[in-house]
Amino acid sequence: MPPTHQVRNVPGMTAIPRHTRLTFHGPLSETRAAQLVARLTRNTPKTVLDIGCGWGELMLRVLEAAPRAKGIGVDLDAEDLSRGRRAAEQRGLTTRARFVEESATGTTRGPADLVLCVGASQALGDQLPRALAELRRLVSDGGRVLLGEGFWQRPPTEAELSRMWPDAAATDHHDLATVVDLAIEAGFRPEWTETASLDEWEEFESAYQADTEVWLAEHPGHPLAAGTRERVDRHRAAWLTYRGILGLAYLTLVPVAR
């Protein structure tokens, strides 16, 4: 995911509604989510590890579909983790779902039958090969990994890069073929390869900012408005630039037996 989606808990933002329009923290439709859950629970996982879980919506749906499974979500965002705990309580999953505030770097939470890492590979390593090696370490033989990873749908121009996130570079992402090749080199076979649609991206990006946009319209003179408006306008300009250039792949990966 672009770095703009990794900036959380901005000082002074507590008075502004946050992410209430988002079901998932990424470009993921209800239809695709249901298909992913069905595929990922086909081999009845008993343990689920969600790296960079946020509020863990996908993990909770997996646990609902796999009633014998237990899950652990790991993230550094206390507000998102609290939202996940509330959702688990509302769904009667508190005995099977844990949300832990800690870094995923070098985590000892695995191995798990199912590892979810959607838009969060940077939590496991600063380069994709390193993150994939960690995912192979964290998944049980016979298990599954769901990797949600950004990729360039086409090479961005220098002008486009200058309008994306700070210090954006063509090396920030690979193309899709390279992402899949790197997964294979790390000890996986791709059971399923799919990519987020433009509709999914637009719904996500609009929902990501909708609360703040409405708040700005209703509170133009608020002390927080100027800084918030600058941040939101910068993000919108970035995503309208990478719209159709940056993709997100959902790879269902099977570890090669050792």
The Cα–Cα gap between 226 and 223 comes to 7
| Cβ neighbourhood burial of 164 (10 Å; 0-12, 13-18, 19+) | buried
Pairing of strands 139-152, 246-255: antiparallel
The Cα–Cα gap between 97 and 163 comes to 40
- What is residue 219's predicted lDDT score, i.e. its pLDDT? 95
- What is residue 258's predicted lDDT score, i.e. its pLDDT? 84
| Cβ neighbourhood burial of 103 (10 Å; 0-12, 13-18, 19+) | exposed
- What is residue 8's predicted lDDT score, i.e. its pLDDT? 44
pTM for this one?
0.94
- What is residue 16's predicted lDDT score, i.e. its pLDDT? 86
Mean pLDDT of 163-176: 97
- Domains plus CATH for the chain? 28-156+169-198+246-253 (3.40.50.150)
| Residue 96: count of CB within 10 angstroms of its CB | 18
The CA dihedral of 196, 183, 118, 208, to the nearest 10 degrees, is -40
Distance, CA of 137 to chain centre: 20
pLDDT at 6 over 70: no
3-state SS class at 29: coil
Q: What is the largest CA-CA distance in the chain?
A: 62
- What is residue 10's predicted lDDT score, i.e. its pLDDT? 47
Identify whether the C-beta of residue 11 lies closer than 8 Å to the C-beta of residue 39: no
Helical residues (DSSP H) of the chain, grouped into ranges: 30-40, 57-65, 78-90, 128-138, 158-162, 176-185, 198-218, 225-242
pLDDT at 123 over 80: yes
Type of residue numbered 117? C
pLDDT at 247 over 50: yes
Rg (CA), the chain: 18
> pLDDT tens digits for 50-97?
999 999 999 999 999 999 999 999 999 999 999 999 999 999 999 999
Identify whether the C-beta of residue 97 lies closer than 8 Å to the C-beta of residue 63: yes
